[in-house]
Structure 1
Amino acid sequence: METALKLNNVSKTYYLAGKTLRVLDDVSFSVEAGSTTAIVGPSGSGKTTLLGLSAGLDRSTSGTIELNNIPLGDLNEDDRAAVRNRYIGFIFQNFQLMPTLTALENVMVPMELRGEKNVRTRGKELLDRVGLGDRLTHYPVQLSGGEQQRVSLARAFANQPRILFADEPTGNLDAETSGKITQLLFELNRQAGTTLILVTHNTELAASTQRIIRLAGGRIIADEKQ
């Protein structure tokens, strides 16, 4: 199988006020293309840091990370941004939509940044697929939390990413909305053949993936195939 992500002996250390804080400690694993993986663990276990390093949002202190067979350690900030724009989609707990843009405009932004054509048509199609075809001109403040997360799902898939990183995608949603968003996320992911890597406290969401990696104290304590 093709490998979408590979981490080898990755550590991340912060130096704060003369103290050393090791957030990740010698983490190694690889993720097969097209698979779904959940990263779980208590608060402070290093989950979000691991996600950020894997996506090239930050640099590891030691170890190597390959994303889509591209070694991230060799790249400068601009090159890492180009890799993210080309291969990666993101979904965040707090949606991170641009408040001054409509739902449609929010979905169009990543496609416009890539210089694609027919972005309005594709944006409408994506919002239709997430059930928001009638909310194209609404601004984030006019949408519920579940609707905002649907917009961010449509935006995440706009670039047809090879890998989708989701950080607590249901964290700000009630149980019912959470279930609907989870179903939609896996449906879109399956249709697109995307590799899904998500961080979550939601045990039901984690159980929906093919693999669960458990972190504690910055180390992997279990790696379970389901």
Structure 2
Amino acid sequence: MAVILSVTGVGKTYQSAGKSLAVLQRISFEVETASTVSIVGPSGSGKTTLLGLCAGLDRASAGVIVLNGVTLNDLNEDERARVRNRYVGFVFQNFQLLPTLTALENVMVPLELRGERNVRSIAMELLDKVGLADRGHHYPLQLSGGEQQRVSIARAFSNSPKILFADEPTGNLDAETSEHTESLLFALNKDAGTTLVLVTHDLELAAKTQRTIRMKGGIVISDTAEQTKES
């Protein structure tokens, strides 16, 4: 199986008040194409920092990250942004929708940035897939939390990403809405053949991925791929 994400000896250190704070140390793993992986661990374990490095949102202090054959360490900020726009989708805990744009317009933005044609019809099709075809003209504040996250998921798939990074995708949702959102995320992911890497505190959600990476204190303490897990 091809590898879409390779992380080798990665560390991240921040400077604060003249002191160095090591958030990640010696992280190494590979993610296979079209697989599903969860990263779990207590608050402060470095999960979100690691996700951001893997997605090219930030640069590692040490080690090498290769995303879809591209070595991120070699790139400047603009070049990393182009890689993200081409290969990466995001789903965030707090949705990160633009409040002044409608649901439809929020989904259209990445398509327009890529210079795609038929932007409106593609965005409408994506909204239909998440069950919001009739809500495209609503603004984020007119939508429930679950609906906002579904718009976020539609937007994440709008550039047909090779890999989808989800940071606590159900963290702000109630149990019933979380379950619906999870089902939608996994179904769309499977249909598109996208690789899914998610950060979560929810061990039930983590159990739905094929593999779980556990972190504590900025290091990986276990990495399990269980045949019994649902794909």
TM range (shorter): over 0.9
Q: Distance in 1 between matches of 2:2 and 2:75?
A: 22
Give the % identical residues.
69
Q: TM-score, normalised by structure 2?
A: 0.97
Q: Report the counterpart of residue 8 of structure 2 in structure 1.
A: 8
Correspondence for 1:76: 76
Inter-partner Cα distance in structure 2 for 1:215 and 1:34 = 22
| CA apart distance, 1:203 | 1.1
The one-letter amino acid paired with 1:68 is N
Separation in structure 2 between the aligned mates of residue 86 and residue 41 of structure 1, nearest angstrom:
29
Q: Deviations over 1:104-159 (max 9, x none)?
A: 00000000000000010011110011000110100000000000000000000000
Which amino acid is the alignment partner of residue 82 of structure 2? A
- In the aligned structure 2, how far is the partner of 1:103 from the partner of 1:15? 39
Stretch deviating more after TM superposition (37-46 or 69-78): 69-78
- Which residue does 2:26 correspond to in 1? 26
Structure 1 runs of 4+ aligned residues shifted over 2 Å read none
1:20, CA displacement in angstroms?
A: 1.6
Mapped partners of 2:77, 2:177: distance in 1: 36
**In the alignment, is residue 52 of structure 1 matched against residue 52 of structure 2?**
yes
- The one-letter code sitting in structure 2 at the alignment partner of 1:35 is S
TM-score when scaled to structure 1? Answer: 0.99
Alignment: residue pair count: 226
Superposition pairs for residues 79-98 of structure 1, below 5 Å?
A: 79-98=79-98
What is the CA RMSD across the aligned residues, in angstroms? 0.5
Say if 2:97 is the partner of 1:124.
no
Q: Deviations over 1:23-65 (max 9, x none)?
A: 0010000000000000000000000000000000101111000
Structure 1: unaligned runs, 5 residues or longer: none
Structural mapping, 1:205-224, within 5 Å: 205-224=205-224
In the alignment, residue 24 of structure 2 is paired with which amino acid? L
Counterpart for residue 142 of structure 2? 142
Matches within 5 A, 1:196-211: 196-211=196-211
Shift of residue 69 of structure 1?
Answer: 1.1
**Residue ranges of structure 2 left out of the alignment (5+ in a row):** 227-231
SS at match of 2:157: helix
